[in-house]
A and B are shown apart, each in its own frame.
Chain A
Amino acid sequence: MEFFHRATSFPFMSTRKLWYGLSIVLILISVASLATRGLNLGVDFTGGVTVQASFPTAANRDAVIAALTGAGYADPQVTIFGSSRDIAIRLPPTKQTTEDVRGRIEQILKTLDGGAQIQQVEVVGPQIGGELQRSAAQALAATLLLIFGYIALRFHTWRLSLGAILAVLHDPILVLGTFSLTRTTFDLTVVAAMLAVIGYSLNDTVVVFDRIRERFHSGRRLDPVTVLDQSINQTLSRTIMTKVVTLIVVVALYALGGPVLRGFSEALIIGILAGTYSSIYISSAVALDCGLTATHLLASAASKPVDDLP
């Protein structure tokens, strides 16, 4: 089976200004939404209230969840800990005082078992505290800097580095924007998905760059626009194949993985689609508009030996 019997020759670069426009509009919408609506942060980020309670006999976790949900507490997390009679309930932050929460929860639990007792009500900090957010931002910044350096070194031009970094930033911003617009809960799982999205985007971009280098190498007279179009067309079958295969896994997660993985797989789907687009229209096009020509890359061809086999 083969979808691409003949080499395609879409003139990708000629329409790039249009796509820049689209990207800029999408990013602006995302940023505007993030600034005004913000993200619907999950308990991982916001912290909340934990209630420890005990029952005279073994607790029924499902019944507790059902009772809490029925009483209007959205998304309660209930864990049985210590002995089978002790439970911990985690709720999103509320405006009620801890005393109010204690009273209400006690009422709800007493409907399940008259002997239920509240042991402790405590306001807990977020799972992803400010500490972690800062360290994550630092780690990402340092990583992007290293990647900028590596691509500049391997391909002998900062133009491709810049294109790659912009493409890598582009995709997570769109994911964040979508989550902000749709008010989907943004939790730790989505952060994990965004890291993967950055990985995919980078992978795609570098594969196209590799082909660009090869094309410039074989036809040094060709003008940059032609070379970039050729490179993207020649890697198009691979780009689409890889995306399809990855999407199969992610869509399976989305459809069958249950509600907890919904946000995770949604972020991956948006990110993978955005990444495919950005590796075509952002990374290469930005390099082109920064004045990328054959001479930038040929310096590398002259000084770098062709890679050896494994």
Chain B
Amino acid sequence: MLEFARWKYVLVTLVVLIGVLFALPNLYGEDPALQVERKSRAPMDDFARQSIEDLLHKQNIFIKRDFIDSGRLILAFNDVAAQLKARDTVDATLSDVDRAALANASRAPAWMRMLGLKAMPLGLDLRGGLYLLYQVDLQGAVSQLLDTYEQSFRRALTDAKLPFTDITTIGADSGGIANGLRVTLPPEADASQVEAVLRKVDVNLKFTTSSGASGSAIDMVLTPAQIKAREDYALEQNRTTLTNRVNDLGVSEPIVQRQGLDRINVQLPGVQNSAEVKDLLGKVATLELRLADTQNNAMQAQQSGHAPLGTKLYKREDGSPILLKREVIVTGDELTSATSATSTEGPAVSIKLDARGAESMLRTTRLNVGKPMAVVYIEKSRRQVEVNGQKVDRDTTSEKVINVATIRGVFGPQFQVTGLTSGEARDLSLMLRSGSLAAPVEVVEERAIGPSLGQDNIDKGVRALEIGMLAVFVFMAIYYRAFGLVADAVLLANVILLTALLSMLRASLSLPGIAGIILTVGIAVDANVLIYERIREELRNGVSPQAAIRAGFDKAFSAIADSNVTALIAGLSLWVIGTGAIRGFAIVLTLGIATSMFTSLLGSRALITLLYGGRQKVARLSIG
């Protein structure tokens, strides 16, 4: 008798069923489609849907089906020609609050869409698009943090009326980047008192005091963990920001991923013109709150070109000049959330601040009730300019005062910016929400990829793969008979599970990924062949059928395990270190090995035990 625990049967059945469910959407294929959404991200309604339908019907464009999916109207067409014509029509007539983008709509039934089941997307190499690789300046992120601390230290010491000579960065002299600050004190200063004040700025900081002839110095050095945390934050913040902006572009199925230690890759299927996209993605928008200067004349300052001491000259949106105080009350880094709202004074943006920002806000407003405060909107972007025939990236910054309001009361962590139109309020909150890029980013690689295969070639390739697999199934069934059929079932389960995993993870399928699938199929077949050849070997040695099955599985296990673990190591290592094509291959390989081990060892054994396990005595095995 062969035995196989009942829970293992349940496990195998359950996993395969879930796999079938997740893999199912891939069977339906896709239609060329148009995705229409509101720029404000307000959901589309049936009225808007009806008007677009009517518009297209008037142009004799046949809409195969349309539906609203997460607030976006998706219109599916029979062919690309209709899709492109529809886009032209919609573009020509749409109001500027809406935005249309080419997309693909799955033919899967609505209930699958409702459940969130989706087919795996095709990679850029299969359907074309724009690929951007951003490098995040992590050193910049750390020095930004040090700048912030330096400001806080200065403020804290000034407020506590403690004297200090200077605050400088340290750590850079040994060839590395600055990783700390040194507060130098005059000889008469009380170092321990200063340290106590500094400690209050952030309790997690570590201080060391050293004293010399000319006075003592207090060093604050960031721990490796703090630097790591800052770098992680910068990366994650950048990724989120890029994701938000990419979503604003209205591209269907964009991918924004962290890559390696300091990179972010952005993949925009179907996009071909890069300049506009890069401008939009690279923009850094942030806010600053400053007190307005009421003592000096802004017009005079503009004419002379000199801002009086302690002030800075800005322009309002209408172009008129305004003087603001140099000290910043709140920077964009200190915003935690921004939402558009309606206040008693009309449209507004509700802003929440973090602890540091809130404290600064509280102190400033308490001292300045009745005085005007200005909101400065800062936008940085990187543009390519041609200098002497060469293309050079230039950073441009534009700053403008978007709002000046009188401080009516004392603000804490939450306040509202008013004096905006409702459109401005929405735009501002969106820009603030999508965040500022925490560290400067730079495009290190940029490629507009034309689909290297084209749809007809993809179809051909898929067809060839299907025929090849079918031939393998037939061959296995002939060569190993009943066992061959078991192997076929196992192989099929493997492909289903792999497809399910890839769909679940929304990993896009690229050409290297297809190579990975073929390799995985090879490895899965190999596992079965190893087991069956081993069973045959045992049978040749005169072992009884059931013992041969047991011995076959047992003895083949170490070979399967070792070869699969080796492949798994290769897959994981390429996944972690590799980029682009290599990574696409590695993801599929790693997942494929996992599913292949599961199906060959558990699935195959379950089926064979089901076939031969129940009987007391088996005379012959159907193994060819």
B131 to chain A, nearest CB (A): 8
Which residue from A52, A139, A150 sits with its C-beta under 8 Å from B574? A139
Judge whether A307 and B557 touch: CB under 8 Å.
Answer: yes
12 of the cross-chain contacts (CB-CB < 8 Å) are A1-B478, A2-B536, A84-B87, A124-B447, A129-B445, A135-B577, A139-B577, A146-B570, A195-B582, A234-B537, A245-B472, A249-B468
Q: Assuming the A-B contacts A192-B515, A246-B525, A250-B468, are A143 and B569 also in contact, with contact meaning beta carbons closer than 8 angstroms in the complex?
A: yes
Q: A143-B569, A202-B567, A259-B457 are in contact. List 6 more A-B contacts (CB 8 A).
A: A83-B87, A195-B515, A246-B518, A249-B518, A251-B468, A257-B460
The contact string, 1 if C-beta is below 8 Å from chain A, for chain B 131-142, is 001000000000
Q: Which chain B positions have C-beta within 8 A of A244?
A: 475
Judge whether B448 and A88 touch: CB under 8 Å.
Answer: yes
Judge whether A88 and B523 touch: CB under 8 Å.
Answer: no
Judge whether A256 and B570 touch: CB under 8 Å.
Answer: no
When A and B form their complex, which 8 residue pairs have the shortest distance between CB atoms, in order from nearest? A84-B84, A252-B468, A192-B512, A249-B468, A256-B464, A192-B515, A81-B272, A210-B559
A232 to chain B, nearest CB (A): 13
Q: Which chain B positions have C-beta within 8 A of A128?
A: 580-581
Q: Assuming the A-B contacts A136-B578, A209-B562, A249-B469, are A242 and B569 also in contact, with contact meaning beta carbons closer than 8 angstroms in the complex?
A: no
In the assembled complex, the Cα of A193 lies from the Cα of B585 at a distance in Å of 10
Judge whether B563 and A252 touch: CB under 8 Å.
Answer: no
Judge whether A147 and B566 touch: CB under 8 Å.
Answer: yes
Most buried by B among A207, A245, A310: A245
Judge whether A248 is part of the interface by a CB distance below 8 angstroms. yes
Q: Which chain B positions have C-beta within 8 A of A139?
A: 573-574, 577-579, 582
Q: Which chain A positions have C-beta within 8 A of B558?
A: 210, 214, 306-307
Judge whether A34 is part of the interface by a CB distance below 8 angstroms. no
Q: Which chain A positions have C-beta within 8 A of B81?
A: 58, 84
Q: Assuming the A-B contacts A248-B468, A253-B461, are A264 and B515 also in contact, with contact meaning beta carbons closer than 8 angstroms in the complex?
A: yes
In the assembled complex, the Cα of A241 lies from the Cα of B479 at a distance in Å of 10
Judge whether A88 and B272 touch: CB under 8 Å.
Answer: yes
Judge whether A200 and B464 touch: CB under 8 Å.
Answer: no
Judge whether B37 is part of the interface by a CB distance below 8 angstroms. no
Judge whether A226 is part of the interface by a CB distance below 8 angstroms. no
Judge whether A310 and B445 touch: CB under 8 Å.
Answer: no
In the assembled complex, the Cα of A55 lies from the Cα of B536 at a distance in Å of 67
In the assembled complex, the Cα of A247 lies from the Cα of B247 at a distance in Å of 43
Judge whether A49 is part of the interface by a CB distance below 8 angstroms. no
Q: Which chain A positions have C-beta within 8 A of B84?
A: 58, 80, 83-84
In the assembled complex, the Cα of A58 lies from the Cα of B88 at a distance in Å of 10
Q: Mark B residues whose CB is within 8 Å of A.
A: 80-81, 84-85, 87-88, 91, 125, 128, 133, 270-273, 444-454, 456-457, 460-461, 463-465, 467-469, 471-472, 475-476, 478-479, 481, 511-512, 514-516, 518-519, 521-523, 525-526, 529-530, 533, 536-537, 540, 553-555, 557-559, 561-563, 565-567, 569-570, 573-574, 577-582, 585, 589, 601-602, 605, 624
Which residue from A138, A207, A307 sits with its C-beta under 8 Å from B563? A207
Q: Which chain A positions have C-beta within 8 A of B478?
A: 1
Chain A at the B interface: SS class:
helix
Q: Which chain A positions have C-beta within 8 A of B602?
A: 310
Judge whether A191 is part of the interface by a CB distance below 8 angstroms. yes
Which residue from A154, A199, A246, A258 sits with its C-beta under 8 Å from B570? A199
Judge whether A242 and B450 touch: CB under 8 Å.
Answer: no
Q: Give the number of A-B contacts (CB < 8 Å).
A: 258
Judge whether B461 and A241 touch: CB under 8 Å.
Answer: no
Judge whether A115 is part of the interface by a CB distance below 8 angstroms. no
Which residue from B475, B554, B624 sits with its C-beta under 8 Å from A245? B475
Q: Which chain B positions have C-beta within 8 A of A261?
A: 457, 460-461, 464
Judge whether A127 is part of the interface by a CB distance below 8 angstroms. yes
The contact string, 1 if C-beta is below 8 Å from chain B, for chain A 96-135, is 0000000000000000000000000000110111011001
Judge whether A198 and B570 touch: CB under 8 Å.
Answer: yes
Q: Which chain A positions have C-beta within 8 A of B574?
A: 139-140, 143, 195
Which residue from A124, A140, A203 sits with its C-beta under 8 Å from B567? A203
Judge whether A255 and B464 touch: CB under 8 Å.
Answer: yes
Judge whether B523 and A131 touch: CB under 8 Å.
Answer: no
Q: Assuming the A-B contacts A127-B447, A195-B585, A196-B516, are A83 and B91 also in contact, with contact meaning beta carbons closer than 8 angstroms in the complex?
A: yes
Judge whether B578 and A135 touch: CB under 8 Å.
Answer: yes
Most buried by A among B456, B565, B566: B566
Judge whether A302 is part of the interface by a CB distance below 8 angstroms. no
A114 to chain B, nearest CB (A): 20
